[in-house]
């Protein structure tokens, strides 16, 4: 039996599975279900937007900021980002508005900046805060009227927000925001913003 276990350990070692105790091999042979959890052990359940591309161009000010932020200590202020004027970059402004409005994460403590929700959506809210875009204020300006939640079939989430003012129905306008799997979103796109102009999306894009 010992020889058989030793041979089993040797075979597992070739597959990068190191066994410290021979008896563990026999125990492992009777296992039918393995439950594991990496959150809190290998990861912190936190995410961050690492790079932004807008209008086919890399947003270098943000990407460079992230590099500096990662090198700094954990107590450094996140709001040290020197950004380009969002009013003159409609594509970037629209991208960040989309990330913040098509989002179910929310602040539970505005003073400390504590946000609750899906880690991916929390990261998008924090992206908005880097650009001084406040989710609560933005939702007052663009109140959500409809929502199609993310599901495994659509692979995307969609919200519709009101962007008009006044009570006249003729003046009411709405904007649709979506986020999801890149290939799913891209397949639904027909236009692209280039140099602040809306153009037809081509295969080369």
The alpha carbon of residue 179 and the mean position of all alpha carbons in its chain are separated, in whole angstroms, by 9
Q: Does pTM top 0.75 for this prediction?
A: no
Q: What is the pLDDT of residue 85?
A: 59
Q: Is residue 17 part of a domain?
A: no
Per-residue b/e over 25-41, b at no fewer than 16 CB within 10 Å?
beeeeeeeeeeeeeeee
Q: Is residue 142 part of a domain?
A: yes
Question: What count of other Cβ atoms lies within 10 Å of the Cβ of residue 45?
Answer: 9
Q: What is the pLDDT of residue 12?
A: 81
Please report, for residues 48, 68, 93, 107, 141, the alpha-carbon distance to residue 85 in angstroms, rounded to integers and kept in the order given.
Answer: 22, 20, 9, 25, 20
Q: Is residue 75 part of a domain?
A: yes
Number of domains in the chain: 1
Low-confidence ranges of the chain (pLDDT < 50): 73-82
Domain range for 161: 53-200
| Strand, helix or coil for residue 26 | helix
Q: Is residue 16 part of a domain?
A: no
Residues carrying an active site annotation: 37
Q: What is the pLDDT of residue 80?
A: 42
Q: Is residue 28 part of a domain?
A: no
Task: Count Cβ atoms within 10 A of the Cβ of residue 87 and give its class: 0-12 exposed, 13-18 middle, 19 or more buried.
Answer: exposed
Query: Residue 191: phi, psi to the nearest 5?
Result: -125, 160
Q: What is the pLDDT of residue 56?
A: 76
Q: What is the CATH number of the domain that holds 71?
A: 3.40.1110.10
- Cα end-to-end distance, the chain, whole Å: 63
- Taking the C-alpha atoms of residue 8 and residue 30, their distance in angstroms, rounded to an integer, is 14
Q: Is residue 48 part of a domain?
A: no
Q: Is residue 22 part of a domain?
A: no
Q: Is residue 10 part of a domain?
A: no
């Amino acid at each position: 039996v010992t020889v058989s276990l030793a041979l089993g350990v040797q075979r597992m070692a070739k597959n990068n599975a190191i066994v410290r105790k021979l008896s563990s091999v026999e125990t492992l042979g009777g296992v039918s279900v393995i439950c594991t959890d990496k959150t809190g052990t290998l990861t912190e359940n936190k995410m961050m937007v690492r790079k932004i591309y807008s209008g086919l161009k890399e947003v270098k000010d943000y990407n460079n900021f992230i590099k500096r932020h990662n090198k700094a200590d954990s107590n450094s202020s996140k709001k040290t980002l020197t950004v380009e004027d969002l009013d003159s970059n409609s594509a970037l402004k629209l991208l960040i508005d989309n990330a913040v409005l098509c989002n179910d994460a929310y602040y539970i403590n505005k003073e400390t900046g504590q946000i609750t929700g899906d880690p991916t959506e929390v990261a998008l809210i924090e992206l908005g805060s880097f650009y001084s875009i406040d989710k609560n204020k933005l939702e007052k300006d663009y109140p959500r009227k409809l929502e199609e939640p993310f599901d495994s079939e659509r692979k995307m989430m969609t919200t519709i927000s009101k962007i008009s003012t006044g009570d006249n129905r003729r003046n009411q306008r709405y904007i649709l925001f979506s986020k999801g799997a890149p290939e799913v979103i891209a397949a639904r796109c027909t236009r692209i913003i280039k140099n602040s102009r809306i153009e037809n999306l081509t295969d080369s894009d």
